[in-house]
Structure 1
Amino acid sequence: MNPILSIIVPCYNSEATLEATLKSILNQEYQEWEAIIVNDGSEDDLESIALKYIKKDSRFLYFKKENGGLGSARNYGIEKAKGKFIVPLDSDNQIEKEFTKEAISIFKDNSNIGVVYGNAEYYGEKSGIWEVGPFDLNRMLAHNYIDACAIYKKSLWEQVGGYDENMPHQGHEDWSFWIALISIKVKFYYLRKITFKYYVSSKSMINNFTEDMVLENQDYIISKYSRLYHAHYRTSFKYRRELRENFLNNLKSRKFVVDLICDTFFSFKLFNSKLDEF
């Protein structure tokens, strides 16, 4: 039977962490899955770990390719995926056992949902909880705050052409992908719980980005989705202008002015005028 969920595990020199990642896949509650391990031209011995899990469970599949970067490895795996839903899982992260089961249930109950994501728990050189927060277009356009480890419909990946393999520097391809989904009005669902464990290392790719590298990727993304950015700017500018006009009109009301003074200096209102938007 074809799996419902395809877990894509791109690997590059991740011998030290891969086993824990694959073990977390085995330990999840949801069982209708396949896990596609993509060796992206690694120079270490991660292959022996991958082959061990293939022997352990036939739902693990293993492929090797020349090094092409993270976006390329994800696309390679997703092209071979049979599942209706996709979850990219980096080879140093660990999926929580309840996440996929709950996400699939959310998709079944809400046909308009395209992406399900949640919080993460740091491990490695950092501990604590990464509380991602609800979907916010302003935040997403400014920077990526939703990790690639989220579950989405494969049809959406097909619709936007997958992960961008032509960015100046690999490392923000998941940000570009989320914006591509936003541009076709995909709905994101925030699951308010820990959905995976996120490995933190000073040697990771993203932590070795220079400021110039980040700016080059930002320029590339803004240029690629310029229509979305311009449309959002116009909408935001119009909204702020309307707020200012309403504020100036309200200043003609004595009750509003009294409430504004009381709320600013004494944190209470006499007349309960609507101040929150200002």
Structure 2
Amino acid sequence: MKPILSIVIPCYNSESTLEGTLESVLHQDFQDWEAIIVNDGSPDNVETIALTWLEKDERFKYYKKQNGGLGSARNYGISKAKGEFILPLDSDNQVKEDYALKAISVFTEKRNVGVVYGHAEYYGERTGIWKVDDFNLNKILNHNYIDACAIFRKGLWEKIGGYDQHMPHQGHEDWDFWISMTALNVEFYHLKQVAFRYYVSNTSMIKSFTDKMVLENQDYIVKKHSAMFHKQFQDLFNSNGEQQNKFLNKISSRKFVIDAFCKKLLGFKLFNSELDKL
């Protein structure tokens, strides 16, 4: 039978962390899953580890491909996925026990939700909780604050055309992916709980990014989604202009000025309506 959830795990130089990642998949509360391990041309011992896990549980699947980067590996794994829902799980992260179970419940109850995400717990060279905010279009256009370890409907991945494999530098595919989701008016649901454990290491890919590389990726994303960025800027500009005009109109009211003065210095107002509307 087809699984409900497909967990896609790209691997490159992952032999030191992969065991913990696969253990977390096996011991989660939700059990109607398949886990697709994608060896993205890794030069280490990933294949041996993966094949061992295939013997432990038939829900683990293994594929090997030529190295193409994170976006390419995720797309390859999702193309093999049979589940209705996708969870991209980096090979050094660990899914929390109840994350998938609660996410699937949200999808079942709220048919308009396309993405479910939550907080993360740091481990490795950093500890603590990475708390993320509710979804906000302005914020996601400004920078990515939602990790790739979110669960989404596979059909949305198909509509978007997958993760962008042509960015100047690998590492911001998930940011571009979420922006593409917003173009489809997808609803994001924030679980407001820790969803996964996030591994922190000085050797992680994102640590190798220079300011120049970040700017090149930002430039690529802004150009790709220029219509959305322009519309959002225009909406903000118009909104701010309307608020400014309302304030200027109030300032021009003698009653408002007198009330503001009395409220500030004397603690009472002469008129009850004008200042309250500010």
TM-score by length of 2: 0.94
- Max radius of gyration: which structure? 2
Distance change >3 Å, CA 273–CA 196, structure 1 → 2: same
Partner residue in 2 for 1:219 = 219
Distance 1:196 1:262 in 2: 54
Partner residue in 2 for 1:17 = 17
Post-superposition CA distance 1:147-194 (Å, at most 9, x none)? 000000000000000000000000000001001111111110111000
Partner residue in 1 for 2:91 = 91
Instruction: Give the C-alpha shift of residue 252 in structure 1.
Output: 3.3
Distance 1:200 1:107 in 2: 30
Q: How big is the alpha-carbon RMSD for the aligned residues of Structure 1 and Structure 2?
A: 1.9
Post-superposition CA distance 1:186-208 (Å, at most 9, x none)? 11011100000001111111111
Distance change >3 Å, CA 31–CA 262, structure 1 → 2: farther
Report whether the alignment pairs 1:121 with 2:121: yes
Asked if 2 retains the 8 angstrom alpha-carbon contact of 1:74 and 1:163, the reply is yes
Partner residue in 2 for 1:80 = 80
Asked if 2 retains the 8 angstrom alpha-carbon contact of 1:259 and 1:273, the reply is no
Asked if 2 retains the 8 angstrom alpha-carbon contact of 1:86 and 1:153, the reply is yes
Distance 1:67 1:159 in 2: 25
Partner residue in 1 for 2:276 = 273
Distance 2:261 2:48 in 1: 70
Q: Could you tell me which amino acid in structure 2 is paired with residue 273 of structure 1? A: D
Distance 1:265 1:208 in 2: 56
Report the 3-state secondary structure (helix = DSSP H, G, I; strand = E; otherwise coil) of the residue aligned with 2:17: helix
Superposition map of 1:1-278 within 5 A: 1-253=1-253, 256-257=256-257, 273-275=276-278
Distance change >3 Å, CA 257–CA 207, structure 1 → 2: farther
Distance 1:111 1:14 in 2: 36
Q: Could you tell me which amino acid in structure 1 is paired with residue 133 of structure 2? A: G
How many residues align? The count is 274
Distance 1:269 1:134 in 2: 39
Distance 2:101 2:10 in 1: 22
Aligned identity (percent) is: 59
Distance change >3 Å, CA 187–CA 263, structure 1 → 2: farther
Q: Could you tell me which amino acid in structure 2 is paired with residue 7 of structure 1? A: I
4+ long deviations beyond 6 Å: 261-266
Post-superposition CA distance 1:212-244 (Å, at most 9, x none)? 000000000000001111111111110010010
Structure 2 gap ranges (5+): none
Distance 2:171 2:104 in 1: 27
Distance change >3 Å, CA 241–CA 65, structure 1 → 2: same
Distance 1:36 1:197 in 2: 19
Distance 2:215 2:202 in 1: 20
Post-superposition CA distance 1:1-52 (Å, at most 9, x none)? 1000000000000100000000000111001100000000101101121111
Distance 1:230 1:265 in 2: 44
Distance 1:135 1:160 in 2: 19
Q: Could you tell me which amino acid in structure 2 is paired with residue 141 of structure 1? A: L
Q: Could you tell me which amino acid in structure 1 is paired with residue 67 of structure 2? A: N
Asked if 2 retains the 8 angstrom alpha-carbon contact of 1:35 and 1:61, the reply is yes
Structure 1 gap ranges (5+): none
